[in-house]
Amino acid sequence: MFVYKCKHLIIYICNMKMIDLKTLEFLYLENFEKNLKGRRILYEDIAPLLQKLSTLFKKEILGYSESNIPIYKISIGTGKTKILIWSQMHGNESTGTKSLFDLFNFFEKNNAELSKEIASILTNCTIQFIPMLNPDGAIKFTRENEQNIDLNRDAVDRKAVESRLLRSVLDDFNPKFCFNLHDQRSIFNVEGTKNPATISFLAPSEDAERTVTKGRKETMCVIVAMNNLLQQVIPNHIGRYTDEFYPTATGDNFQKLGHNTILIEAGHFKDDYEREITRKYNFYALLQGIYFISTENDFWNYKPYYDIPNNDTKFLDIIYKNIKITKNNGIQIVDIGIQLKFKVIANELVAYKHIEKEGDLSNYYSRNYIDAENLDIKELKLSNS
């Protein structure tokens, strides 16, 4: 038994099949898809890459978005264990999409150093990918689709055409495992640390009681394997997302239907506002998760899932200290916490400073503290919208 220790976690790796991290880090630059960068990834960015995929992949148009943009399904592998992976269910959450194309490159190049691992995945698993479920939301850089529907809250009513397409794949393909790829805001830190939650995991609940069913245990076990790998390279930067039950959420409903659903939430890393560093760790987690599924039969080692610290909400992109504001007809000195947000103006993605918190922020964390005692708040161009 190998025991890996970090500040808030002891990881027990008992005959668990792991991707060799040194080899993976060496190979990553070769598999990095250089044509996809930044936060705003559109269908027009991925379309030429889809066309370039070799015959190793089967590709087909699954359907069309509300504004008639193609939504593709990509398939690879011949094994009996079925895995479904989708990204950009929220149009403004593109880190998973970038990671998927890194993963496609990894399979295309058949990296000799990890050929046994690739063979294990492709002979034991059949994987279907939907690399961009919400292309309309990607254009607007919003969570919602063209009809302002949040697809991740549309699993029951399925009012959106994109929700119906995803459900049709689920029903037809009948996967044992699903990976639901999201981005989370930079307000999340790893509980008990000053670190942003760079990657957070969730094994969704199937009911309001958060019952730990056999399916949830299997989901947790895969997350344990992914966490074991990531803790070796970004220790104390991995969190556990709340497992509060959401009756209309996709992950909760798919888990309840018997499809073990792993949520990966890509978050912030130091100075990585384009999420290019996070993208790499998202790729690592995905590959490790898929490889683990391809080698495991029992899925028994789920309890370390609960050792992963919770997400907390105490990280801020900027904290302005001791800033003077006018309030209640008087001058007050407060701290102001900023979260950087993004919106599309003239078809360009623009960052702006959103006021997330105000008051005494001594219990909050940031990489960027600014003494604002002599600054004029009006010149900071802050926003409450």
The contacts of residue 376 (CB under 8 Å, 6+ apart) are none
User: What b/e string do you get for 313-324 counting C-beta neighbours within 10 Å, with b at 16 or more?
Assistant: ebbbbbbbbebe
Against a cut of 0.85, is the pTM above it?
yes
User: What amino acid occupies position 231?
Assistant: Q
Residues 277 and 331 in one domain: no
The boundaries of the domain holding residue 152 are: 2-312
CATH number at 17 reads: 3.40.630.10
Residues 305 and 373 in one domain: no
Rounded Cα distance, 251 and 155, in Å: 9
Any alpha helices (H) in the chain, and if so which ranges? 21-31, 43-52, 95-109, 115-124, 135-140, 161-173, 214-230, 250-256, 276-295
Residues 264 and 347 in one domain: no
Tell me the per-residue pLDDT of 41-50, one tens digit each, with 9 for 90 and over.
999 999 999 9
Residues 213 and 351 in one domain: no
Residues 66 and 114 in one domain: yes
What six digits make up the tokens of 30?
Answer: 């070769």
Instruction: Give 257: exposed, middle or buried? Use CB within 10 Å, 0-12, 13-18, 19+.
Output: middle
Structural domain ending residue among the three candidates 257, 287, 312: 312
Q: CA quadruple 33, 34, 37, 43: dihedral positive or negative?
A: negative
Average confidence (pLDDT) over 264-269 = 98
Residues 353 and 239 in one domain: no
The overall average pLDDT reported for the chain is 93
Tell me the per-residue pLDDT of 48-91, one tens digit each, with 9 for 90 and over.
999 999 999 999 999 999 999 999 999 999 999 999 999 999 99
Three-class secondary structure of residue 104 per DSSP: helix
What six digits make up the tokens of 69?
Answer: 């943009």
Residues 138 and 28 in one domain: yes
Residues 257 and 306 in one domain: yes
